[in-house]
Structure 1
Amino acid sequence: MAAGFFQANTVDPILSNVPVPSKLFQQHEPIWLVRFLNASANTFAVNIEVDQNAFAINSRFGTVSNYEPVSDGFHTITVRRASGISNILLQRSFPFSAEQRYTVVLTDNASGGLDMIQVPATGCNTFNYNTGCYRVANMSYSGSSYDVMLYNTHSVVFRGLNYQSVSSYKQAAAGSYQFYLTNSSTGSLMQELPA
Structure 2
Amino acid sequence: MRKQTLAVATALALVFAAPAFAHPGKGKGDHFAKIDTDGDGVITTAEVEAASLASFAKMDANSDGFVTQDELKAHAEAMKAEHKAKWAEKKAGKEGKAAIADADPAKVAEWKAKKAERAAKYEAKKAEKFAAIDTDGDGRLSAAEFAASHVARMAKVDTDGDGRVTAEERAAAKAKKKEHKGKWRDKPAEQ
Structure with more of its chain in strand, by fraction = 1
Higher RCO (CA 8 Å, separation ≥ 6 residues): 2
Larger Rg: 2
What TM-score does the superposition give when structure 2 sets the normalisation length?
A: 0.27
Structure with more of its chain in helix, by fraction = 2
